[in-house]
Amino acid sequence: MEIRRARHAGACYGVKRALQLVEEAIRTSPRPVYTLGPLIHNPQVVEDLKARGVTMADSIDAIEQGTIVIRSHGVAPAIIAEAKAKHLEVLDATCPHVSKAQAAASELAAAGYRVVVVGERGHPEIEGISAYAGDQVLVVQGPEELPDFDPSARIGVIAQTTQTNASLQTVIKALKSRGLQPKTQNTICFATRQRQAAATELAQEVDVMLVVGGRNSSNTTRLAELCAAACAKTHHVEKPEELAADWFNSARSVGITAGASTPEDQIVAVEQHLAALVADA
């Protein structure tokens, strides 16, 4: 049986940067190290950091002194100001692509646009971006959630960095169908687009598709949805032990992809477990 990995898969630059920053803090900080929420949406990474003494805090209020690492999803500017006011050392691990989305939201709001963000309400990235977008920000997951706008309304549209381009375009199309002329900035990150395209391409060519990464990861979940649309036998797994031998009965080829929050060692572990599993079959 052939095992193939997608051309683009696994941890992106933003995630690698966040991991490097927290590693540096563990090595050099003489004070306790905290992350505000999970550093990345990968349960195994979070557990490893906890075992090494990094505490995950739910709010700045829970931290009296130490080093606080702002997670890759970013936060509202008021939270960073609050941390500095408490004289905490702040290491900002916000993904550069998320920072660009925050800046786009701020620029549109400052120019008088009502900002529409295509993304998942309640997601930490969305909460951070919304704080930059003004009081009238609107978060939608699809065109069906759009309200009635005045025909003269000035609408600006951006997207959560891990959304699909198709999701963004359906919202833009719906706004234009109402006679509006939205000002759009495509803030979906390049790494996300790369991984989605490569995963879809591979899923169309294999009998079984494995998507590796946290189930709480937006970008990994999106990959699993895209793969499932192209390959009926798609399985989203976090750990090698989740693989079941009967998934691969009669399969001639298996594809593997991974979300942008999945480190290389986790992908390799799944590949090795799969190879051993089919060898024993």
Q: What is the pLDDT of residue 279?
A: 78
Distance CA 249, CA 261 (A): 29
Residue among 88, 105, 92 at smallest CA distance from 32: 88
pLDDT tens digits, one per residue of 111-167:
999 999 999 999 999 999 999 999 999 999 999 999 999 989 999 999 999 998 999
Our CA angle for 45, 40, 222, nearest 5°, is 110
Question: Pick from 150, 98, 140: which is nearest to 115 by CA?
Answer: 140
Q: For CATH 3.40.1010.20, list the domain ranges present in the chain.
A: 2-10+190-280, 97-184
* Strands (DSSP E) found in 63-170: 67-70, 89-92, 114-118, 138-140, 155-159
Q: Which fold has domain 13-94?
A: Rossmann fold (3.40.50)
Distance CA 138, CA 116 (A): 5
As annotated, the residues of the chain forming the CATH 3.40.50.11270 domain(s) are 13-94
Q: Is the pLDDT of residue 281 over 80?
A: no
Cβ neighbour number for residue 144 with a 10 Å cutoff: 9
Instruction: For CA atoms 165, 171, 176, 177, give the dihedral sign.
Output: positive
Tokens of 153: 């309304």
List, by residue number, the catalytic residues: 125
The CATH classification number of 2-10+190-280 equals: 3.40.1010.20
User: Do residues 248 and 273 make contact, with C-beta atoms less than 8 angstroms apart?
Assistant: no
pLDDT the model gives residue 90: 95
Assess contact for 113 and 156: CB atoms under 8 A.
yes
Each residue of 9-38: pLDDT tens digit?
Answer: 999 999 999 999 999 999 998 999 999 999
Is 79 in a helix, a strand, or coil?
helix
Average pLDDT over residues 264-274: 96
**Which tens digits make up the pLDDT trace of 79-94?**
999 999 999 999 999 9
| C-beta separation of 9 from 227 below 8 A | no
Q: What count of other Cβ atoms lies within 10 Å of the Cβ of residue 153?
A: 14
- Strands in 67-70's sheet, in edge-to-edge order, are 55-57, 33-36, 67-70, 89-92
Give the distance, in angstroms, between the CA of residue 145 and the centroid of all CA atoms in the same chain.
22
Amino acid at 197: A
Order of strands, sheet of 114-118, starting from the edge strand that comes earlier in the sequence? 138-140, 114-118, 155-159, 183-184
Per-residue pLDDT at 280: 67
Residue with tokens 């003494």: 53
Whether 115 contacts 156, CB under 8 Å: yes
Rounded CA separation 160/187 (Å): 7
Two structure tokens written together for 163 = 């959304």
Q: Which CATH number fits domain 97-184: 3.40.630.10, 3.40.1010.20, 2.60.40.4070, 2.40.50.150?
A: 3.40.1010.20
Cα–Cα distance between 255 and 144 in angstroms, integer?
A: 34
pTM for the whole structure: 0.86
The one-letter amino acid at 88: L
